[in-house]
Amino acid sequence: MTGLTHEVARDLASARVDGELGVDDIRRLDAHLSACPACAAHDAALRDLSSLVRQLPRTSPRAGLAEATIRRLPARRVPRGWSWRPMQVVTVVAMAVVLAVVAGIALRPGTPLVPFATVPAAAEAAQLSRISTLYAERTVVTTPQGDPARRVTVEERIWWVAPDRLRVERVEADAGGTSTATTIVRRSDQQYVEVDGRGERRTVAPGLASVPEPLSAGITVLGRPTGPGPVVAGRPTTRYELEVEGARRVALVDAERYAVLAGEESVVLSKEVVVGTLVVESRQTRVLRLDQPIDDARFEIPRDAEVVPGGFDRRPVGDLSIEPLAAPEGLELVASGGEPAGRETLLFQRGAFQVLITSHLPDQTGPVAVRPTTVGGRPGVLRIPLYGPPSVTFTPGSIAVTVTVTALLAPHALTALAADMYLQPE
């Protein structure tokens, strides 16, 4: 038969329910199950068990317990009298990624700071984005203000290699049937855009490419495995539930981390000037492929493309109006400068961990959840795109600043980082 004893098969079946089984073991298990009705019945019974557990009522702590606990925590102390000082980036425990606690090298001499949190060490920084490549196909239907006559359907193929290579092939069709084909290629500080066959390239601020956080990072940050999913294309899957600002999504992930999004949920976004008022009617991703090699040729920019003048102009940090009060310790300043129309950029980096500061909102593709927040007591706006890193925008002085990081920072850590960089300590 298959070489598996019944006992081992049942052990494997149990591990599979928990999503802890590798591909080879899954194949061996399925081979055994297809030939052994008793074990197959056991396998099915395991899933019934999960549903019984879900029916168990549970006691919850009283409503105010977490807040009462927080109030008992000692307030953090920050030394006074700083102007430009080395500062440590807030660490956060994101559900997928944890940043190790190691102090880095100060960008400028200053009074040592009692570390509240620190930047990741180099090795961790390099591994921060657990997902390093993404290929996705998706269809997004958007209906501005619920009006079917204005419905737009977008079909996309996306290739992305962390952190700054991106290729998007997009076909956009409106309700009247008019369609537009767009290709975007981004690599480091070059961007190429081709619309209906006509392409041009320009130099852009170095930094993050627009679809950097693939969905499985979103799965681990925002969601947890909730049990076995259905078999999809012959592959057993684990079901994850995600939440993006109150909208529930379901993803099914198999052992090779191919994921298919369940397409029946709709995501409703509103309340923000950047995208108007949108009702995203339905969203289907046909395939999402993670950490598979992508040929660099995908990101080649045609040499004969028209070069658009202007573009990124490197200037010292001190010349920019977005200069922070304090720089993240342990991170290297990779770029500073501006573009025409006053768009300024700073980029701090350590391995795959980047902190991007801009005077303008980040380019975004796909749905983005937006909500008001506070940054050191000042009003700000938090943006969490489904396919992008979170960012926070606020106005520490006279101009608005947007802080974006590639790591999976929880929103409160992101706002703390922004406050640390731009606001005077008490």
Partner 1 sequence: MTRVPRGDVDDGWFAGVVRENTPVVFGFVLRRVGDRPRAEDLTQETFLRAWRARRSFRGEDPGGEGSSMRGWLCAIAANVVRDDARRSGRRPVEVATPEHFDIPTDGDVSDRMAEDEAMGRFRDALVALSPQHREMFLLRERDGLSYREIAAALGCPIGTVMSGLARTRQRLVEAVRG
Contact between 123 and partner 1 (CB under 8 A)?
Answer: no
Q: Quote the least distance from Cβ 318 to partner 1, whole Å.
A: 16
- Omega into 230 within 30° of 0, i.e. cis? no
Q: Quote the least distance from Cβ 311 to partner 1, whole Å.
A: 32
Site for partner 1 in 397-426 (CB under 8 A): 397, 410, 412-413, 415-416, 419, 423-426
Contact between 98 and partner 1 (CB under 8 A)?
Answer: yes
Residue 161, strand partner residues: 133, 165
Q: Which residue lies nearer to partner 1 by CB, 98 or 181?
A: 98
Considering only 49-57, 139-147, 182-190, 268-276, which stretch makes contact with partner 1 by CB under 8 A?
49-57
Contact between 132 and partner 1 (CB under 8 A)?
Answer: no
- Rounded Cα gap, residues 356 and 340, in angstroms: 18
Could you say which of 88, 91, 142, 190 contacts partner 1 (CB under 8 A)? 91
Q: Quote the least distance from Cβ 70 to partner 1, whole Å.
A: 5
- Rounded Cα gap, residues 189 and 299, in angstroms: 12
Contact between 60 and partner 1 (CB under 8 A)?
Answer: yes
Look-up: residue for tokens 């979103």? 218
* Residues contacting residue 54 through CB under 8 Å, at least 6 positions apart: 227
Contact between 17 and partner 1 (CB under 8 A)?
Answer: yes
For residues 86 and 116, the answer to whether their CB atoms sit within 8 Å is: no
Contact mark string toward partner 1, 176..215, x via CB under 8 A: ----------------------------------------
* Strand 306-307 versus strand 313-314 pairing type: unpaired
Could you say which of 1, 3, 24, 52 contacts partner 1 (CB under 8 A)? 52
Could you say which of 11, 137, 245, 281 contacts partner 1 (CB under 8 A)? 11
Q: Kindly report the backbone phi and psi dihedral angles of residue 119, in degrees, each rounded to the nearest multiple of 5, phi listed first.
A: -85, 160
Q: Which residue lies nearer to partner 1 by CB, 227 or 338?
A: 227
Site for partner 1 in 225-244 (CB under 8 A): 225-226
Q: Quote the least distance from Cβ 405 to partner 1, whole Å.
A: 13
Considering only 31-39, 223-231, 308-316, 342-350, which stretch makes contact with partner 1 by CB under 8 A?
223-231
Name the DSSP letter for residue 207: S
Could you say which of 3, 37, 56, 178 contacts partner 1 (CB under 8 A)? 56
Q: Tokens for 409?
A: 């920072």
For residues 166 and 152, the answer to whether their CB atoms sit within 8 Å is: no
Contact between 126 and partner 1 (CB under 8 A)?
Answer: no
Could you say which of 89, 90, 162, 211 contacts partner 1 (CB under 8 A)? 90
Could you say which of 2, 25, 40, 42 contacts partner 1 (CB under 8 A)? 42
Q: Which residue lies nearer to partner 1 by CB, 20 or 306?
A: 20
Considering only 193-201, 224-232, 303-311, 348-356, which stretch makes contact with partner 1 by CB under 8 A?
224-232
- Rounded Cα gap, residues 189 and 169, in angstroms: 19
In total, the chain counts a number of residues equal to 426
| DSSP annotation string for 137-149 | EEEEEEEETT-GG
Give how far Cα 5 sits from Cα of 1, 10, 39, Å. 10, 9, 10
* Residues contacting residue 137 through CB under 8 Å, at least 6 positions apart: 155, 156, 157, 158, 285, 286, 287
Name the DSSP letter for residue 386: T
Cα–Cα nearest to 305, from 194, 381, 218, 163: 194
Contact between 59 and partner 1 (CB under 8 A)?
Answer: yes
Contact between 127 and partner 1 (CB under 8 A)?
Answer: yes
Contact mark string toward partner 1, 322..361, x via CB under 8 A: ---x------------------------------------
Q: Which residue lies nearer to partner 1 by CB, 103 or 361?
A: 103
Name the DSSP letter for residue 342: G
Q: Quote the least distance from Cβ 98 to partner 1, whole Å.
A: 3
Q: Which residue lies nearer to partner 1 by CB, 240 or 312?
A: 240
Total Cβ atoms within 10 A of residue 186 = 24
Q: Quote the least distance from Cβ 80 to partner 1, whole Å.
A: 10
* Residues contacting residue 312 through CB under 8 Å, at least 6 positions apart: 189, 203, 204, 205, 206, 335, 337, 338, 339, 345
Contact between 74 and partner 1 (CB under 8 A)?
Answer: yes
Amino acid at 216: S
Residue 393, strand partner residues: 381, 402
Considering only 30-38, 61-69, 187-195, 296-304, which stretch makes contact with partner 1 by CB under 8 A?
61-69
- Rounded Cα gap, residues 200 and 307, in angstroms: 6
